[in-house]
Chain A
Amino acid sequence: MASHAQPVTDSTTTRPVQFKIWRGDASGGAFEQYTARVTGGMVVLDCIHQVQAEQVPDLACRWNCKAGKCGSCSAEINGKPALMCMTRMDTLPTDQPVTVEPLRAFPSIRDLVTDVSWNYEVKKKITPFTPRKPDRPDGTWTMYQEDIERTQEFRKCIECFLCQDVCHVLRDHHKHDEFIGPRFLVNIAALEMHPLDVADRIADLKDRDGIGYCNIGKCCTKVCPESITITDNAIIPLKERVVDEFYDPITRLLRIFRSK
């Protein structure tokens, strides 16, 4: 008989695994313990669905694609922000209950569901894509692969908001009014680095969007299910553009001479 401390890898046998699932709403809540029957190949979302179907039909849980592409089933599993549909049970130790709780950086609605609408409000404030005049009379532009490949990485984002959840500026310091979070810094990087875009978002980045609050912990990069190199490829290059514009006297001086 396999030890319960071992991950569940066998697809032919079933084994009970303890779960501690957070139940409650904005007024408060607590962890409640449930047992799921787990076989190899199952993911955490399967277990949540099983508990919901067989034990607590009123357990609230947001999900959609179950393929790691819709970004709906974000949660904290054993304290780590992750997609429930992409967290295989065979990666988790089962000698102690698996904890599943909602994202901590956003208000709770109920059980595992949080209100992430703040993110949509933030996005509305970002200056949208503003292309230069078309290169040709038919309204088209000439694009080369080397111009676009850097920002293609940023377009993989599925808006699961795991990066927002793990970012301590939002999670621990609750700076939602002063900092837009890694997801939207990636969004701005995709726009700012786009060769056709002519809008300037650097002043907003410095002041309204609070890019300086990021202290480069790289937690956002670590939790990204799309493996976007958020810190090194988006946030730090944007920080450097802010330095160009506001904190580097030599660059500012050169810009004055070039503009004359």
Chain B
Amino acid sequence: MPLPQAPGFLETRRIDRWWIQPTLVFLGFGAFIVYSTWAALQGSNYFTGGPTHPGAQQLLSPFYSPVLWDATGLHSGHAWIGQQPAWWPTWLLFSPALFILPFPGLFRFTCYYYRGAYYKAFWGDPSSCGVGEPSFRGTRYRGEQKFPLLLQNAHRYALYIAILFIGILSYDAWVSLWSVDAEGVKHFGISVGSLVLALNVILLGGYTFGCHCFRHIIGGRQDCFSCHKHQHAAWKRVSWLNTRHMLFAWLSLFWVGFSDVYVRLCSMGIWTDWRIVG
């Protein structure tokens, strides 16, 4: 088929400011990746309260939840197993977040919305609609039809783990409503940090349960909705969230990062976690 020659990289006859959106996406994702990597590698200041800070609300950074092992010398009160394991090589950096962040990271990396967004912003495939691509790709383009991007089809497994995380983060938000005094007695209270962590769960829930995979599994896979009325009802509710998937993707991304910033600065004593109730 004699087709017109493909335009060169970034070549287009569009006259609108098409480059703004991919640039903002690049900066937004890039900033999050840099910050979250830095925060995950710190291995400290990821909680407030606990045995070492009696009286403070028990906040735990979502980047570090669930805590399997606390970093050496730290007692968050959230660790499932205990302290940094003795078998961990001394030459290898240890941070509780390193065991956690890959899972939500994988969920976002394989998310249908993010895929479309970072293919554009990070590897110009294409940078925007009707804008030329790098010429080296040409007819060698493989898309998600072949390895390695074929692996994006594992998104639903990342979803299953992400749903588990919603449960864990909900428990963290519940725990954040309590402080433990020096005698070990629990006191109920609501702080700004409790609200930050609660909103984090709501936004992450809005993002996770609006997932295209979830929409398919919950009912979209059925052809006959009148034969599966409950699935149809669930599908309609998930579809409401799904039409706002991009919105929740960004809100939850920003807020989960801010939640870590909040807990970190409170833990460092730079911010005060003001108590509203209790």
- Which residues of chain A come closer than 8 Å to B75, judged between CB atoms? none
Pick the contact of A118: B1, B116, B120 (CB < 8 A).
Answer: B1
B residues less than 8 Å from A36 (CB atoms):
none
**Are A247 and B130 closer than 8 Å at their CB atoms?**
no
Once A147-B225, A168-B125, A172-B6 are accepted as A-B contacts, the answer to whether A212 and B143 lie under 8 Å apart by CB is: yes
Indicate if the CB atoms of A81 and B3 lie closer than 8 Å: no
On whether the beta carbons of B14 and A213 are closer than 8 Å, the reply is: no
Q: Given A79, A106, A218, A231, which contacts B14 in the complex, CB threshold below 8 Å?
A: A79
Asked if B126 is at the interface of the complex by the 8 Å CB criterion, the answer is yes
Q: List A residues 91-108 near B (Cβ within 8 Å).
A: 93, 96, 99, 101, 104-108
- A78-B15, A195-B223, A217-B119 as given contacts; A240 in contact with B213, CB under 8 Å: yes
Q: How near does chain A come to B151, taking the closest CB pair, in angstroms?
A: 9
Which residues 219-256 of B have a CB within 8 angstroms of A?
220-221, 223-227, 232, 242-243
Judged by a CB distance under 8 angstroms, whether B129 is at the interface is yes
Which of B15, B16, B149, B213 has the most C-beta atoms of chain A within 10 angstroms of its own C-beta? B15
Chain B CB within 10 Å, residue with most, of A76, A108, A147, A240: A240
By beta carbon, the residue of chain A nearest B145 is: A212
* CB within 8 Å for A108 and B137 given contacts A195-B223, A212-B143, A215-B119: no
> Do A93 and B15 contact each other (CB < 8 Å), given the known contacts A147-B225, A172-B126, A214-B143?
yes
Are A215 and B115 touching (Cβ within 8 A)?
A: yes
Given contacts A166-B129, A217-B119, contact A107 B15 (CB under 8 A): no
Query: Does A223 reach chain B (CB closer than 8 Å)?
Result: yes
Q: A168-B125, A213-B143 are in contact. Are A99 and B153 (CB under 8 A)?
A: no
Residue B112, interface by CB 8 Å: yes
> Which residues of chain B have C-beta atoms less than 8 A from A193's C-beta?
223
For residue B139, CB closer than 8 A to chain A, the reply is yes
Alpha-carbon distance between A81 and B120 when the two chains are bound, in angstroms: 18
Contact residues in A for B112 (Cβ distance below 8 Å): 216, 236
On whether A173 and B225 interact (CB within 8 A), knowing A96-B15, A217-B119, A240-B213, the answer reads no
B225 engages A237 (CB within 8 Å): no
| Residue B89 is within 8 A (CB to CB) of chain A in the complex | no
Q: Which residue of A lies closest to B18 (CB)?
A: A79
Asked if B78 CB lies within 8 Å of chain A CBs, one says no
Q: Chain A interface mostly helix, strand, loop or mixed?
A: mixed
Taking a contact as CB atoms under 8 Å apart, the answer to whether B14 and A78 are in contact is yes
B116 engages A215 (CB within 8 Å): yes
Distance in angstroms from A94 CB to nearest chain B CB is 11
Residues of chain B from 179 to 228 with CB closer than 8 A to chain A in the complex: 212-213, 215-217, 220-221, 223-227
Chain A hits for B145, CB < 8 A:
178, 210-213
Residue in A closest to B14 when the chains form the complex, CB atoms: A79
Q: Does A201 contact B (CB under 8 A)?
A: no
Residue A197 CB within 8 A of the other chain: yes
B156: interface (CB < 8 Å) = yes
A215 engages B242 (CB within 8 Å)? no
Residue of chain B at shortest CB distance from A171: B6
Bitwise, B2-29 to A at CB < 8 A (1) or not (0) is 1110110000111110000000000000
Of the candidates B126, B142, B153, B224, the one whose C-beta lies within 8 Å of that of A243 is B153
22 residue pairs A–B, Cβ–Cβ below 8 Å: A78-B14, A78-B15, A79-B13, A101-B13, A108-B4, A147-B226, A166-B130, A168-B126, A168-B133, A173-B139, A173-B141, A195-B225, A210-B145, A217-B119, A217-B120, A217-B125, A217-B126, A231-B116, A237-B215, A247-B153, A247-B154, A248-B156
- Give me the interface of A with B, judged by CB distance under 8 Å: 26, 76, 78-81, 93, 96, 99, 101, 104-108, 118, 144, 146-147, 150, 166, 168-169, 171-176, 178, 192-195, 197, 210-219, 222-223, 231-232, 236-237, 239-244, 247-248
Besides A146-B226, A176-B1, A241-B221, 13 other A-B contacts (C-beta < 8 A): A76-B13, A76-B130, A106-B1, A150-B225, A168-B125, A195-B224, A213-B141, A214-B144, A217-B126, A237-B220, A240-B217, A243-B153, A243-B156
Closest 5 CB pairs of A and B: A212-B145, A79-B13, A219-B129, A79-B14, A240-B216
